[in-house]
Amino acid sequence: MAFDIDMIKGVYSKMAERVDAARKITGTPLTLAEKILYSHLWDGKTEKALVRGKDYVDFAPDRIACQDATAQMALLQFMQAGKKNVAVPTTVHCDHLIQAKQGANKDLKRANETSNEVFDFLESVSNKYGIGFWKPGAGIIHQVVLENYAFPGGMMIGTDSHTVNAGGLGMVAIGVGGADAVDVMAGMAWELKFPKLIGVKLTGELNGWTASKDVILKVAGILTVKGGTGAIVEYFGPGAKNLSATGKGTICNMGAEVGATTSTFGYDESMERFLRATDRSDVADAANEIKEYLTGDDEVYANPEQYFDEVIEINLSELRPHLNGPFTPDLATPVGELGEKAKKNDWPLKVDWGLIGSCTNSSYEDLSRAASIAQQAIDKKLKPKSDFGINPGSEQIRFTAERDGLLTVFENLGATIFTNACGPCIGQWDRSDRKGEEKNTIVHSFNRNFSKRADGNPNTHAFVGSPEMVAAIAISGKLDFDPMNDTLLNEDGEEVKLDIPVGLELPPKGFAVDENGYLAPTEDGSSVEVKVATDSERLELLEPFTPIQDSELKEVKLLIKAFGKCTTDHISMAGPWLRYRGHLDNISNNCLIGAVNAYNKQTNFVKNQLTGEYAGVPDTQREYKAKGIKTIVVGDHNYGEGSSREHAAMEPRFLGVAAVLVKSFARIHETNLKKQGMLGLTFNTENDYDLIEEDDTFSFVDIEEFAPDKPLTIEVEHKDGSKDTIIANHTYNDAQIKWYREGSALNLIKKQNA
């Protein structure tokens, strides 16, 4: 039986009425995304057709999911809200703080020793406030959600950008910052600009070496890392129905890499099969009763150009396997063409590691397809030329895969089975063959491949592919290996060719697990004590942010002008810094240390205008803070791309940065800045970015008149006394300006609850 079945049935009981009303008001057929959005409006119904990309709308999500790294700050904030219990079903999943090194048992034991105080805090605060808790080793948040909580037609938000994975079961699931989650936990509405809609029509059927992963690798190449910003990507067509539910999840998961608000598929038989296989026949039965409301209207899919803002069509029968990278997930190259490209760009062809797993590709189907390649290597006497690492998605998958012999196949090939956790995908990897200054190549089935993402090494070239393609390339040890056409020399000196991978959508003997790792909260948590040591270096109770005064926005100093790509990984790195995710002061020592200074092209080396000397970004900013001087950060396009981590907004806010002025923002980061009471602004004229000089001082001329749809004027004074005037646009509405004026959205919630 499903978790929260009464809540799910409650959603379904209202859906038909709300969708019918929305269809009448809009006067048009509806996409699936629109059906879910209109049926989750905060006030239950709408009086007007909502304008895509313009109207800010209040929603009522059904549930919340948090991973352990972001849950710390989210729950520290929730503790300030003055509530006895979370208002909607919420879960915490411990998957980010487990470093991959020696293998599952040793790595999990070490994590429980080194991060015990964080796990104890999360378990105690979850128990106190009615939150479901998944212990370390239980699995990766998004796979656990897909197996236990996701349901067709639902709306979920989560404090991780890959919350979108749940679109594989027909949800609108959206990654947010912790402050957004806190709003909903506290019983408040969740605000989102009504998304635009991108339709992806899939025809044909996957065959040969092509996998679901290749669909999103192709889409990423088409849309680029910012092409989906502000939009929901909805997949449909006969090809979509031919994909498994976990394959759909893979596609939705990596939709975060094109900047999409989320991605989703209409309810179909593959979703029903997955629900029943994961002991949720009650959800499948309830969904079947309203299944026409759990997919887009027929007319929409028949004439998509009339109802979507953009339409992409992909014939799965003709789709080729891809490898995307290095350094960006949208650099798409069909397998077979990568060798020439690699030689031209001096990318190392020797592959050192093949890594399979992560929230993107760790299902039973993924492991079975990769294991079929691994078994071939054994049978054909091929010795792998690369190291292998495997991260199962959940304890249920690990247990089932072990029972069915899949893990034994990998182990016979010399693979290391890591914990059911994120591991190398998020930089939690103590790599055994550190490369230093030497260029090196790895291939993986993860979602992101930014510089330094997996192992902290800027010289590591990471390429993204399907699990079966990763297995084949790791066996060959060559980036330019094309298993569809190339042969390999086995231990007997014979040339052999790998056969087409085969896999199983679901385990033939069903899923099984001894201990899934779930702890239900006590019914009354009023007497539960939240565990936070006063002398902890990893956890720290929060103090409310003080509102930024208009008078402080005169003679603001430039902290850093970031050059090129500046993701949340650059602004607030993960890896070893994950240990400080619950201690704002300590983690602020990584603030912007990965951003490239536009003036010297170095990282963590900026000019202190007070002394004229160069130092690290956090040290320089702390000196400005000590002197009561506000600062500004200037950036390029898609600033804040990547993970949803609100630390990338909270750290600069804590240290005294007042504004971020960029060419364009990634959606989640812009919202996070607003939530924390900062100014997130964009250049009205992009070329004004070039006007900013290293010693500039900024004065916000008309900040007293801060209002919706009214640009701000900034006077920039250069070192020689000359001045430029810059017009800065913003997307703040009245409610968001109140957040700013109160110092943060949380401050406003507390004020309203007082």
Question: Burial code of 642-657, b = ≥16 C-beta within 10 A, e = fewer?
Answer: bbbbbbbbbbbbbbbb
Residue 596 CA to residue 212 CA, distance in Å, equals 35
Q: Residues 79, 568, 233, CA angle at the centre, nearest 5°?
A: 95
Residue by residue, DSSP assigns 84-122 as SS-SS-EEEE--SS--BSS-HHHHHHHHHHHSHHHHHHH
- Assign 42 to helix, strand or coil: coil
Q: Are strands 132-134 and 90-93 parallel, antiparallel or unpaired?
A: parallel
DSSP state at residue 562: B
Catalytic residue among 244, 362, 394, 643: 643
70 closest CA partner among 92, 99, 103, 102: 92
Q: Is 741 a catalytic residue?
A: no
For 367-498, strand residue ranges (E) read 387-390, 416-417, 440-444, 460-464, 488-489, 495-496
Residue 567 CA to residue 556 CA, distance in Å, equals 24
How deeply is 62 buried, as exposed, middle or buried, from its count of CB atoms within 10 A (0-12, 13-18, 19+)? buried
Residue 3 CA to residue 85 CA, distance in Å, equals 18
How deeply is 94 buried, as exposed, middle or buried, from its count of CB atoms within 10 A (0-12, 13-18, 19+)? buried
Residue 664 CA to residue 674 CA, distance in Å, equals 15
- Structure tokens, 9: 């049935």
Residues 713, 644 contacting (CB under 8 angstroms):
no
Q: Is 110 a catalytic residue?
A: no
Catalytic residue among 95, 455, 482, 569: 95
Residues 186, 83 contacting (CB under 8 angstroms):
yes
Q: How far apart are the first and last CA of the chain?
A: 39
Q: How far is CA 673 from the centre of its chain?
A: 17
For 204-289, strand residue ranges (E) read 231-236, 262-265
Catalytic residue among 96, 431, 581, 669: 96
Catalytic residue among 645, 653, 669, 730: 645
Catalytic residue among 369, 448, 461, 653: 448
Q: Which residues is 332 bridged to in the sheet?
A: 324
Q: Where do runs of H (alpha helix) occur along 356-460?
A: 364-379, 395-403, 406-412
Determine the angle formed by the axes of helices 5-26 and 32-39, rounding to 10 degrees: 110
Residue 754 CA to residue 749 CA, distance in Å, equals 9
Catalytic residue among 107, 160, 297, 387: 160
Q: Is 709 a catalytic residue?
A: no
Residue 531 CA to residue 559 CA, distance in Å, equals 36
Q: Are strands 90-93 and 63-67 parallel, antiparallel or unpaired?
A: parallel
Q: Are strands 723-729 and 679-683 parallel, antiparallel or unpaired?
A: antiparallel
Residues 6+ apart with CB under 8 A from 500: 208, 209
Q: Is 95 a catalytic residue?
A: yes
By 3-state DSSP, what share of the chain in percent is helix, strand and coil, each rounded to 5? 40, 20, 45
154 closest CA partner among 251, 36, 43, 301: 36
Residues 410, 390 contacting (CB under 8 angstroms):
yes
Residues 388, 378 contacting (CB under 8 angstroms):
no
419 closest CA partner among 70, 95, 69, 66: 95
186 closest CA partner among 72, 88, 64, 68: 88
Q: Is 448 a catalytic residue?
A: yes
- Structure tokens, 596: 């490239």
Residues 176, 158 contacting (CB under 8 angstroms):
yes
Residue 236 CA to residue 200 CA, distance in Å, equals 6
Q: Are strands 495-496 and 488-489 parallel, antiparallel or unpaired?
A: antiparallel
- Active-site residues: which are they? 95-96, 160, 448, 643, 645
